[in-house]
Amino acid sequence: MTSLDERLAGLSPEKRALLTQLLQKKRAATAQADAIPRRPDPSQHPMSYAQQRLWFLDQFEPDSPFYNISAALGLTGPLDVAALEQALNAIVARHEVLRANFITEKGYPAQVVAPERRIPLPVMDLRQRSPQEQNAAVQRMAVEEARRPFDLAQDPLLRVQLLRLDEEEYVLLLTMHHIISDGWSTGVLVQELSALYPAFREGRPSPLAELPIQYADYAAWQQEWLQGEVKERQLAFWRETLGELPGPLQLPFDHPRPPVQTYRGAHHYFAIPERLQGKLAALAKEEDATLFMTLLAAFQALLHRYSGQEQIHVGTPVANRTRMELEPLIGFFVNTLVLPGRFQDSLTFRELLRQVRETALGAFAHQDLPFEMLVEELQPERDMSHTPLFQAMFDLQKAPPERFQVGDLELRVMEVETGTAKFDLILVVQEREEGLQGIIEYNTDLFEEGTIQRMAGHFLNLLESALADPDQPIARLELLSPEEKHQILVEWNDTAHPFPQDRTFHAAFQEQVTHTPDRTAVAFLDQELSFAQLNARANQMAHHLRRLGVQPDQIVALVLDRSPEMLVGILGILKAGAAYLPLDPSYPAARLQFMLEDSQAPILVTQEGLVDKLPIADLQSPISVIRLDADWPAIAQEPTDNPPEMAGPDNLAYVIYTSGSTGTPKGVLIQHRSMLHLATALHRIVYDGDDQLRRISLNAPISFDASVQQIVMLTKGYTLDILPHAVRQDSHELLRFIRERRLDALDCVPSQLKLLLDAGLLDGSGWAPAKVLPGGEAIDPETWRILRQAPATQFYNMYGPTECTVDSTIAPVHASGDQPTIGRPVPNAQAYILDPHGQPVPVGVPGELYIGGAGVARGYLNRPELTAERFVPAEELGVGSWKSEAGPLDSLLLTPYSSRLYRTGDLCRYRPDGHIEFLGRVDHQVKIRGFRIELGEIEATLRQHPSVDDAVVVAREVTAGHKQLVAYVV
């Protein structure tokens, strides 16, 4: 056990190779002359750089067990406890560092070494207990020992405890502080015990040769050696290798990162299938690389695919005993190297492996620079929430022999779960007799076990895919198992539900009229129209429009103040066969003019008081104007019966403009079918088919598609109560209005909801609506928590772009966990979260949300390129070509409504339960009080000003929770 070769066998192959190489070089070049000398003053015990850092960490967080190194050894045989204790103490006598303490002198750390120190070997007798009790006690004691902190200034920094289970059955627990030890040191300790114990048992003297030097000699030498040019050369290498430091590694965390890292952890074990091992070896051989390098490449590729980051830093430990005289020492030698991986789009796995090989060889050749010195040099931004320079580590280890014989004792290494994790994530691969075994140590503040389990699966899938074809781009490597894909793509999107897909919106409304002719359809203060009245007026309007030659797919503009006439206008236009284009009279004239011209609407429906404010005279082509009030006597001459149907479910129902990033807004084309789809989805998810809930608000302006979410409910017999302008402006007025009119459901944007909450919506002092539908922008976690606790009101987080007919996903807040989510796709909608290559991302990993199904718009008016860019045929995406056993995806889910998916530009991720979390935008679109704004549109407009050279616009939270646009101009 003590020979160099056997120790080398404990290292990963490349470390072994490099070590041997380095050792030979050093030996040949220097022989005795360059050996580390004993320090001149043996009463001084200088500290190494690594020790100084640990001391500092300990000052910062005293009594933390995270730098304990522990081992549990099972002993079987006739143990001589006195000989064991004697052996332990002989080791303590041999190694100064085992008698060391670390004290503070004038603010600086100092190592003091006791000339003598006895380590007691307490024995705990567990012989009376049952085997189960013994097992539990051993585990508990092992963890307790491993987690009991050391006082660096006082305690012996090696601690032992013997548990006696039976006459010839023991467990020896060994714990050392990392400041005097490392993994290799544990091996030295066990080896020395194995030599000393049998000798002492037989009354022989110690067979061990005296140590050539002590740890403090190494520390003194290190300080001397790592200076000037040597240090500069090392630093220069690392500066260049690491380049610009990347931000912290973004993994699919389950929980937000605590402000201070706690080192709470757990381990997940998984086997690397045998079929991969041969291929691993073959690829490594082909590329003159090692197993270490090949596995590291796969790990870096996984982290890259998870994070999307182009530079992936992974740490790896090196034993750092590059000189013969260091090998028999106990002490803190282990060093950490940072191995960067650099990714760009087309990089293949083979290319990555070559890169890793170069990086690793260079790094191992420059392993002498202590990690702490590197940190000091590179000065990464100080942040207590994670480790500096890297957060994930990789190590390939030869598993120690599980059992070995010492005289008449059999020793066996036992595994103990200590519940700690030094980094966010460590992947260890152990070479065992039965094959390769993976172990993931992970921080439990960040990750749930399920996430790590999936991660291990993704690592294996990726590895398998890379080994099958190393010349494919990393971006194409398979992460997901077929089962995962089926779950994400099919099960979570299996939303089919019947809805009236073969008719127009107004046909469905007309049918509702026959069921509830006398029920109020629309109310505005003291005005009311029943379903029959609304229908009759809309019919007159439709007949009137038909006379003007209105055709399906034609666009009729609508500009009205808030009143029941809005509904007469909308239904009249639809019944005529045309699509309505709602415009807000308060918009600037230039914008109104743009939308009227861009849409080429031949007819404008408005009212007397607004005509003069509209840019009608400035239009390039003439437009017929109908004033609903002034012209009504003429319209009232028309018949009140339903006009014959001219449109079908595929015809346009409305056009709503949204902000455009290149400077001009674009009109979104929505078909009749999509409106009826929306009505069905809402009826099912929000209203649970409950027809007692009747009175719903019309809060959003009709120029804003949130209004459609309310208007479509007319087809289910709901009453629309139009909120007057003044009521919308004042949260106290609004609350009074809701209570007075006993609204069952309220639509709003989150900013308005917050004001309503402040005004007392949930204070229990009056009527509260059964349903509140905030949507249009993200709900903050604080508000989410309040909404979850509301007793009588159910809140629904409504998510959806205008391009997908208002609502694509909905989260019932009360049933959606305690972090905000946008929920799941509504009936007949599909949601896919894809990476930049159109491949589905794993649960927890951010990607862009794509929406499919019955709500997807026809496209943008007169903007074929933009339409092609945003509405992507599914078969052009990775998902579209995916086939399960049941058939290709598009035949499963996408037809018959649309085989195109809308790219939302929203960054989202799945939770393990399939709920979608909204993370932000991939572009420069913002939401301010529910208004969708492309910052680019404003910048383009600003740049048109003669005295503006360039402009940048951002949305800033000027006061808490209050976002405003801020422009910076040159």
Number of residues near ligand AMP (by CB under 6 A): 18
Convert residues 152-191 into a mask of x (bound to Mg ion by CB under 5 A) and - (unbound): ----------------------------------------
- Cβ pair 45, 323 in contact under 8 A: no
Find the binding residues for Mg ion in span 785-804 (CB under 5 A): 800
> Angle at which helices 274-286 and 449-468 pack, to 10 degrees?
50
Long-range contacts of 400-407 (CB under 8 A, 24+ apart): 400/10, 400/187, 404/1, 404/194, 406/193, 406/194, 406/197, 406/198, 407/77, 407/197, 407/198, 407/201
Long-range contacts of 277-280 (CB under 8 A, 24+ apart): 277/435, 277/436, 279/467, 279/468, 280/436, 280/463, 280/467
Beta bridge partners of 771: 745, 794
The two structure tokens encoding residue 120: 């007691």
Which of Mg ion, ligand AMP, none binds 488 (CB below 5-8 Å, type-dependent)? none
- Cβ pair 599, 555 in contact under 8 A: yes
- Cβ pair 748, 699 in contact under 8 A: yes
Closest separation between CB of residue 931 and ligand AMP, Å? 7
Using CA atoms, how far apart are residues 708 and 770, in angstroms rounded to an integer?
Answer: 20
Which of ligand AMP, Mg ion, none binds 470 (CB below 5-8 Å, type-dependent)? none
Closest separation between CB of residue 277 and ligand AMP, Å? 46
Using CA atoms, how far apart are residues 175 and 144, in angstroms rounded to an integer?
Answer: 11
Find the binding residues for ligand AMP in span 786-845 (CB under 6 A): 797-802, 822
Which of Mg ion, ligand AMP, none binds 342 (CB below 5-8 Å, type-dependent)? none
Considering the complex, state which of residue 405 and residue 662 has its C-beta at the smaller distance from ligand AMP. 662
Residues in the chain: 970
- Cβ pair 73, 190 in contact under 8 A: yes
Considering the complex, state which of residue 800 and residue 823 has its C-beta at the smaller distance from Mg ion. 800
Q: For residue 764, is it left (φ>0), alpha (ψ between -120 and 50) or beta?
A: left
Find the binding residues for ligand AMP in span 635-664 (CB under 6 A): 658
Q: 3-class SS at 140?
A: helix
The H-or-E segment that residue 640 falls in is: none
Of 61-69, 480-488, 683-691, 775-783: span binding ligand AMP (CB under 6 A): 775-783
Among 38, 741, 814, 927, binds ligand AMP (CB under 6 A): 927
Q: How would DSSP label each residue in 11-28? A: S-HHHHHHHHHHHHHHHH
Which of ligand AMP, Mg ion, none binds 667 (CB below 5-8 Å, type-dependent)? none
Considering the complex, state which of residue 665 and residue 800 has its C-beta at the smaller distance from Mg ion. 800
How, if at all, do strands 794-799 and 771-774 pair?
A: parallel
Among 245, 778, 786, 969, binds ligand AMP (CB under 6 A): 778
Closest separation between CB of residue 702 and ligand AMP, Å? 14
Of 212-220, 436-444, 515-523, 771-779: span binding ligand AMP (CB under 6 A): 771-779
Closest separation between CB of residue 920 and ligand AMP, Å? 8
Using CA atoms, how far apart are residues 568 and 550, in angstroms rounded to an integer?
Answer: 17
Instruction: Give the up-direction half-sphere exposure of residue 153: CA atoms within 13 A in the CB hemisphere.
Output: 10
Which of these, 155, 202, 158, 198, lies nearest to 177 by C-alpha position? 158
Residue with the CB atom nearest Mg ion in the bound state: 800
Using CA atoms, how far apart are residues 76 and 533, in angstroms rounded to an integer?
Answer: 94
Using CA atoms, how far apart are residues 322 and 22, in angstroms rounded to an integer?
Answer: 7
Closest separation between CB of residue 776 and Mg ion, Å? 5
Among 776, 838, 847, 853, binds ligand AMP (CB under 6 A): 776
Among 777, 917, 937, 939, binds ligand AMP (CB under 6 A): 777
Q: Is 93 exposed, middle or buried (0-12, 13-18, 19+ CB in 10 A)?
A: middle
Considering the complex, state which of residue 628 and residue 676 has its C-beta at the smaller distance from Mg ion. 676
Radius of gyration over every alpha carbon of the chain, rounded to an integer in angstroms: 36
Instruction: Give the up-direction half-sphere exposure of residue 145: CA atoms within 13 A in the CB hemisphere.
Output: 25
Closest separation between CB of residue 696 and ligand AMP, Å? 18
Among 27, 38, 932, 943, binds ligand AMP (CB under 6 A): 932
- Cβ pair 210, 360 in contact under 8 A: no
- Cβ pair 813, 791 in contact under 8 A: no
Closest separation between CB of residue 898 and Mg ion, Å? 18
The H-or-E segment that residue 869 falls in is: helix 864-870
Closest separation between CB of residue 956 and Mg ion, Å? 23
Of 344-352, 774-782, 861-869, 878-886: span binding ligand AMP (CB under 6 A): 774-782
Q: For residue 806, is it left (φ>0), alpha (ψ between -120 and 50) or beta?
A: left
Closest separation between CB of residue 860 and Mg ion, Å? 16
Closest separation between CB of residue 803 and Mg ion, Å? 9
Considering the complex, state which of residue 14 and residue 777 has its C-beta at the smaller distance from ligand AMP. 777
Closest separation between CB of residue 803 and ligand AMP, Å? 7
Considering the complex, state which of residue 454 and residue 858 has its C-beta at the smaller distance from Mg ion. 858
Which of ligand AMP, Mg ion, none binds 187 (CB below 5-8 Å, type-dependent)? none
Closest separation between CB of residue 924 and ligand AMP, Å? 12
| Phi, psi (rounded to 5 degrees) for 312 | -120, 115
Give the amino acid at 645.
Answer: E
Considering the complex, state which of residue 357 and residue 666 has its C-beta at the smaller distance from ligand AMP. 666
Closest separation between CB of residue 800 and Mg ion, Å? 5
Considering the complex, state which of residue 737 and residue 918 has its C-beta at the smaller distance from ligand AMP. 918
Among 109, 775, 838, 859, binds ligand AMP (CB under 6 A): 775
Considering the complex, state which of residue 750 and residue 840 has its C-beta at the smaller distance from ligand AMP. 750
Closest separation between CB of residue 349 and ligand AMP, Å? 35
Closest separation between CB of residue 660 and ligand AMP, Å? 12
Closest separation between CB of residue 857 and Mg ion, Å? 12
Considering the complex, state which of residue 145 and residue 937 has its C-beta at the smaller distance from Mg ion. 937
- Cβ pair 822, 793 in contact under 8 A: no
Which of Mg ion, ligand AMP, none binds 306 (CB below 5-8 Å, type-dependent)? none
Using CA atoms, how far apart are residues 896 and 498, in angstroms rounded to an integer?
Answer: 12
Which of Mg ion, ligand AMP, none binds 778 (CB below 5-8 Å, type-dependent)? ligand AMP
| Phi, psi (rounded to 5 degrees) for 918 | -90, 130
Find the binding residues for ligand AMP in span 853-912 (CB under 6 A): 904, 906
248 binds Mg ion (CB under 5 A): no
Which of these, 596, 561, 558, 563, lies nearest to 580 by C-alpha position? 558
Considering the complex, state which of residue 642 and residue 808 has its C-beta at the smaller distance from ligand AMP. 808
Sheet containing 265-271: give its strands across: 265-271, 435-443, 425-432, 392-398, 311-318, 335-342
Which of ligand AMP, Mg ion, none binds 906 (CB below 5-8 Å, type-dependent)? ligand AMP
The Cα-based distances of 523 to 229, 355, 527, 737 in angstroms read 85, 70, 6, 13
Number of residues near Mg ion (by CB under 5 A): 1
Closest separation between CB of residue 863 and ligand AMP, Å? 16
Which of ligand AMP, Mg ion, none binds 797 (CB below 5-8 Å, type-dependent)? ligand AMP
Which of Mg ion, ligand AMP, none binds 799 (CB below 5-8 Å, type-dependent)? ligand AMP
* Residues within the interface to Mg ion (CB under 5 A): 800
* Residues within the interface to ligand AMP (CB under 6 A): 658, 775-778, 797-802, 822, 904, 906, 918, 921, 927, 932
